[in-house]
A and B are shown apart, each in its own frame.
Chain A
Amino acid sequence: MSFQPIKFYQTGTHTVGNRLLPPETRSVQANMRRTNSLNSGHRACQGCGEALGARYAIDAAMHATNNQLIAANATGCLEVFSTPYPETSWQIPWIHSLFGNAAAVATGIAAAMKVKGNHDVRVIAQGGDGGTSDIGFGCLSGMFERNDDVLYICYDNEAYMNTGVQRSSATPPAARTATTAAVGDAPGNVFGQGKNLPAIAIAHGIPYVATATVSELRDLEAKVRRAMEFRGARYIHIFVPCPLGWGHEPGDTIRIARLAKETGLFPVFEAEHGEVVSVSRIRRRTPVEEYLKPQRRFAHLFSPAPRVEVIAAIQTIADRNIRKFGLLEEAA
Chain B
Amino acid sequence: MLKQTEGSRAVAEAVALCRPEVICAYPISPQTHIVEALGEVVKSGALAPCEFINVESEFAAMSVAIGASAAGARSYTATASQGLLFMAEALFNASGLGLPIVMTVANRAIGAPINIWNDHNDSMSQRDCGWIQLFAETNQEALDLHIQAFRLAEELSLPVMVCMDGFILTHAYERVDIPSQAQVDAYLPPFEPRQVLDPREPVSIGAMVGPEAFTEVRYLAHAKQMQALELIPGWAAEFRRAFGRDAGGLVHPYALEDAETVIVALGSVLGTVKDTVDEMRDRGAKIGVLGITCFRPWPLAAVRAALAAAQRVVVLEKSLAVGLGGIVSTNVRTSYTGRPDAVHTVIAGLGGRAITKASLARVFGEAIEGGLEPLTFLDLDRAIVDRQLARERETRRSGPIAEAILRDIGVVAARIG
- Name A residues whose Cβ lies closer than 8 Å to a Cβ of B: 67-70, 72-73, 79-80, 83-85, 88, 90-98, 100-101, 104-117, 121, 138-139, 141-142, 145-146
Inter-chain contact total with CB atoms closer than 8 Å: 157
Q: Does B44 contact A (CB under 8 A)?
A: no
A264 → B minimal CB distance (Å)? 34
Given known A90-B202, A105-B63, A108-B68, contact A85–B53 (CB-CB < 8 A): no
B59 → A minimal CB distance (Å)? 7
Which of A80, A98, A105, A115 is B49 in contact with, Cβ under 8 Å? Answer: A115
Is the beta-carbon distance between B56 and A142 smaller than 8 angstroms?
A: yes
Given known A95-B67, A115-B73, A116-B73, contact A109–B197 (CB-CB < 8 A): yes
A114 → B minimal CB distance (Å)? 6
Q: Which 6 A-B pairs have the closest CB atoms?
A: A108-B67, A96-B206, A112-B71, A142-B56, A104-B63, A101-B63
A71 → B minimal CB distance (Å)? 9
Q: Does B83 contact A (CB under 8 A)?
A: no
Is the beta-carbon distance between B72 and A83 smaller than 8 angstroms?
A: no
Which of A85, A111, A113 is B64 in contact with, Cβ under 8 Å? Answer: A111
Q: Specify which chain A residues have a CB less than 8 angstroms from the CB of B198 in the assembled complex.
A: 70, 93
- Name B residues whose Cβ lies closer than 8 Å to a Cβ of A: 21-22, 24, 49-51, 53-57, 59-60, 63-73, 75, 89-90, 93, 97, 197-199, 201-209
Q: Which residue of A lies closest to B67 (CB)?
A: A108
User: Please, how many angstroms separate the alpha-carbon atoms of A96 and B202 in the complex?
Assistant: 14
Which of B66, B68, B75 is A101 in contact with, Cβ under 8 Å? Answer: B66
Is the beta-carbon distance between B60 and A113 smaller than 8 angstroms?
A: no
Which of B69, B71, B93, B201 is A113 in contact with, Cβ under 8 Å? Answer: B71
Is the beta-carbon distance between B51 and A97 smaller than 8 angstroms?
A: no
Q: Specify which chain A residues have a CB less than 8 angstroms from the CB of B55 in the assembled complex.
A: 104, 107, 142
Is the beta-carbon distance between A138 and B73 smaller than 8 angstroms?
A: no
Is the beta-carbon distance between A97 and B21 smaller than 8 angstroms?
A: no
Instruction: Kindly list 17 other residue pairs between chains A and B, CB separation below 8 angstroms, not including A83-B208, A90-B204.
Output: A70-B198, A72-B67, A92-B202, A94-B203, A95-B70, A96-B207, A97-B97, A98-B90, A107-B67, A108-B22, A108-B53, A111-B67, A112-B69, A112-B73, A115-B21, A115-B22, A116-B71
Q: Which residue of A lies closest to B56 (CB)?
A: A142
Given known A111-B51, A112-B68, contact A98–B207 (CB-CB < 8 A): no
Is the beta-carbon distance between B208 and A107 smaller than 8 angstroms?
A: no
Is the beta-carbon distance between A108 and B75 smaller than 8 angstroms?
A: yes
Q: Specify which chain A residues have a CB less than 8 angstroms from the CB of B24 in the assembled complex.
A: 108
User: Please, how many angstroms separate the alpha-carbon atoms of A88 and B204 in the complex?
Assistant: 7
Q: Specify which chain B residues have a CB less than 8 angstroms from the CB of A79 in the assembled complex.
A: 206, 208
A43 → B minimal CB distance (Å)? 11
Q: Which residue of B lies closest to A106 (CB)?
A: B67
Which of B56, B59, B73, B93 is A111 in contact with, Cβ under 8 Å? Answer: B73
A-B contact pairs, 21 of them (CB 8 A): A79-B208, A93-B203, A94-B203, A95-B205, A97-B93, A98-B89, A101-B59, A104-B66, A105-B63, A107-B60, A108-B75, A109-B71, A111-B21, A111-B51, A114-B49, A115-B21, A115-B22, A115-B50, A115-B73, A139-B63, A142-B57
Q: Specify which chain B residues have a CB less than 8 angstroms from the CB of A100 in the assembled complex.
A: 59, 89
Given known A108-B67, A113-B71, contact A97–B22 (CB-CB < 8 A): no
Which of A69, A80, A83, A142 is B199 in contact with, Cβ under 8 Å? Answer: A69
